[in-house]
Amino acid sequence: EWLNQAAPSHVAYWLDRHIEEVVGRYAGKFHSWDVVNEPMWPGHNKEFGLRSGPWFRAMGPAYIKRAFEVTARTDPAAKRVLNEAWLERADHWGRGLRAAFLPMLDQLLEQGTPIDAIGLQCHLAPDNLDMDAFLQLVEQIQQRGLPIYVTELDVNDQIFADDIAERDQHVAAVYSDFLQELLQQPGIEIIQTWQLSDKYSFYQGRQERQVRVLPFDREMQVKPAYHAIAQALAIPRND
């Protein structure tokens, strides 16, 4: 709340200080930083579909470039990632995000923003997935010379049957189909699930039943999703 009431110069100071303290503490220890996470929210009707958070309200779109520059200065060895959600969705929200993402990215790159990679979260909803549009976006990002990290992969199992064995097979099939298509694209450097065990999934508590969305169950036992991911990763790639 105090940040929302601060003068723009104070907000900029706290952005810099937050990055310098957190990134500086772990400098040289991490592979990469998600420097700016989920900057977009088309419903706020701002330039490039950006989210109207405290950083944006104080500095406008320039806060993104500033955050990347401070991170680069503080931990120059780490990769710097722009991370966004829901770009694979088929609904109006996904279409709006895809339409705004590339113009935003192009402006950042033209300004010399030190972005090393694009993070695509990929919280997959099997009934709300436009794979063709997503792969087209992936190709367009790669044409800009940026590798892609899949940063938060999981599969929402809400539409599938209660029977655990059946549900697990459906979830595994979604992982398999998605990864086999995606990994035929060059420049996919990281595949990372959003937690390993269903016990810690952020979907827990959003359904009345126990979710089955990740490679391991609540007891850290391997599920079909694990094998689907492993098999997709083992397929020879074009790059």
* Placement of tokens 């003068």 in the chain: 7
Q: Tell me the percentage of the chain whose pLDDT exceeds 70.
A: 100
How confident is the model at residue 36, as a pLDDT? 99
Mapping DSSP to helix (H, G, I), strand (E, B) and coil, where does residue 124 land?
A: strand
Q: Is 239's pLDDT higher than 80?
A: no
Query: ∠217-219-222 over CA atoms, to 5°?
Result: 50
- What is the average per-residue pLDDT within 191-197? 98
The whole-chain average pLDDT of the chain stands at: 97
**Residues with Cβ within 8 Å of residue 26, at least 6 apart in sequence:** 75
CATH superfamily entry for domain 2-234? Glycosidases (3.20.20.80)
Q: Is 3's pLDDT higher than 90?
A: no
**How many other β-carbons are positioned within 10 Å of the β-carbon of residue 21?**
10
Structure tokens of 8?
Answer: 């723009």
Mean pLDDT lowest among 3-7, 149-153, 178-182, 211-215: 3-7
Contact 237, 193 (CB under 8 A): no
The alpha carbon of 30 is separated from its chain's Cα centroid by a whole number of angstroms, namely 17
**Residues with Cβ within 8 Å of residue 132, at least 6 apart in sequence:** none
How confident is the model at residue 1, as a pLDDT? 81
Q: Where are the domains of the chain?
A: 2-234
How confident is the model at residue 5, as a pLDDT? 86
Rounded CA separation 114/85 (Å): 20
Instruction: Write the pLDDT tens digit of every residue in 86-124.
Output: 999 999 999 999 999 999 999 999 999 999 999 999 999
**Residues with Cβ within 8 Å of residue 189, at least 6 apart in sequence:** 117, 147, 148, 149
